[in-house]
Amino acid sequence: MKRKIYDDLLQWKKDKVNKKPLMILGVRQCGKTYIVEEFCKNEYNNYCKINLLQRPDIVELFDKQINSEEKLNLLKTMINCDIEDENNILFIDEIQESEEMISQLKFLCESHNNINIICAGSLLGVALKRLKKSFPVGKVWMLNMYPMDFEEFLLANNRQAAVELLKEYYEKNKPLGSPLHEEMLRLYRIYLLTGGMPEAVQNIIDVKQDYSRYNTDILKNILNSYYKDMKKHVINDAEALKIERIYNSLPSQLTNASKKFQFSMVGADAKKDRFETAIDWLIASHMIIKCDCVNLPEIPLAGFVDNETYKFYLSDVGILCSILGLSVRDIVTDNISLYKGIITENFVANQLICNGFRLFYWKSDATAEVDFLLYTSDGIIPLEVKSSDNTQSKSLKVYMNKYNPKYAIRVSTKDFGFDPNTKIKSVPLYAAFLIKE
């Protein structure tokens, strides 16, 4: 399956001036190992893979009290690979198992930058957050990888022509019209079922989109692996329990009337100072995405954040639907009633984060609220999400009258379009992946 991060990997390979080891971060099961292996096989003559979970001898080597040069020489002997050949590449998987090896990336960058190195690992973000050794700041090229966005889902389903058409109609604000609009909405709802986890996407392809044969256990198993991960790289068992409690509270958090994360919904004993490290763990693991509240939409948005008000989305909308226990039929037939709004909003959040946006939303002192604020070349652009074709929004109108942005974006089940009177650009849900900086 085509992954857009492949282009970033090619860019890393081409950069001979700022040659550094590459580190890929991302939530478990989003396809990191697969895409790295494909890249290594396609772009280099030979590649050597080390999985540190399977090579405790290499972890032990890097823990030895010997100099960096000697460690490198011993490593080359142990893996029997000429990693100093510029046509070869070394892939270190599960690198979080060795803090010393992470620290040694600085030495490799400075003294052996002829070596091509890619690193990845489960919970690598958490391991880096809690690193006791010094991190090689400025000596590592870092990339974030996410579950497949809707464009990648379409490409995996052989819809390249549809992707190109959507790009054209997005730019022209031209309605797609029936029956293609309905077909794209159908595919969007199937994506809600699978989310962007490659194994789930491959399964729906294998059953030829016959959702009655879709294997719902795939996402359940991934979710179970997340719960197991919550006991790794933690301070103690008490922190692991806090992480699980926060994660389990998120679906109901998204539906609460205040539209913000509340510790009281985690439990009577949940206070910020007691649960803050658990939240940091979930963010670092890429299991959740933080969306900060901004009271004043000025540039830069990060400078006007209300640190006490924020929301969290799950990293993948398919995982959200799995947690909610919604039936396959109800998802694909759009019969998800109460949770329809939060599922749609989570989907859009996932598409925006894949496109490099940091997530912000706006809330007035009164009751008006806009789902997302985008920092773009056109300035601060408000984005409103609607789960149906009922696109009335008092909050967006309040924002437009108060701040007069160049235009606004409304994402809904309506077709493409632009209203010059309201300055609102209509983007169908299935085209949210086209919203770029």
H or E element in which residue 417 lies = strand 417-419
Q: CA 318: distance to chain centroid?
A: 12
pLDDT single digits (tens) 234-260? 888 999 999 999 999 998 888 887 778
Q: What region does 123 belong to: left with phi over 0, alpha with psi -120 to 50, or beta?
A: left
How confident is the model over 76-124, as pLDDT tens digits? 999 998 999 999 999 999 999 999 999 999 999 999 989 999 999 989 9
Query: How many CB atoms sit inside 10 A of residue 309's CB?
Result: 16
Sequence-separated (6 or more) residues with CB below 8 Å from residue 16: none
Q: Which two tokens stand for residue 195?
A: 């989310």
Cα–Cα dist 133/155, whole Å: 41
CB 92 within 8 A of CB 50: yes
pLDDT confidence of residue 122? 87
Q: Mean per-residue pLDDT for 33-56?
A: 96
Q: What is the pLDDT of residues 324-335, one digit of tens each?
A: 999 999 999 998
Q: Report, in angstroms and rounded to the nearest whole number, the Rg of the chain calculated over CA atoms.
A: 23
The lowest-confidence range among 193-207, 248-262, 416-430 is: 248-262
Give residue 435's pLDDT.
Answer: 97
Residue of 124, 151, 141 lying closest to 17 (CA atoms): 141
Residue where the block lists tokens 């652009």: 381
Tokens of 141: 């090229």
Q: pLDDT tens digits, residue range 302-351?
A: 999 999 999 999 999 999 999 999 999 999 999 887 889 999 999 999 99
* Mean pLDDT within 275-289: 95
How far is 251 from 323, CA to CA, in rounded Å? 8
As a whole number of Å, the end-to-end CA separation of the chain is 25
Q: Are 338 and 269 in contact (CB under 8 A)?
A: no
Pick 432 or 132 by higher pLDDT: 432
Strand partners, 426: 410, 417
How far apart are alpha carbons 100 and 61 in whole angstroms?
Answer: 10
Dihedral sign, CA of 138, 312, 94, 53? positive
Q: What is the mean pLDDT of residues 398-423?
A: 96
Beta strands 379-385; 372-376: pairing state: antiparallel
The answer to whether 318 touches 199, Cβ cutoff 8 Å, is no
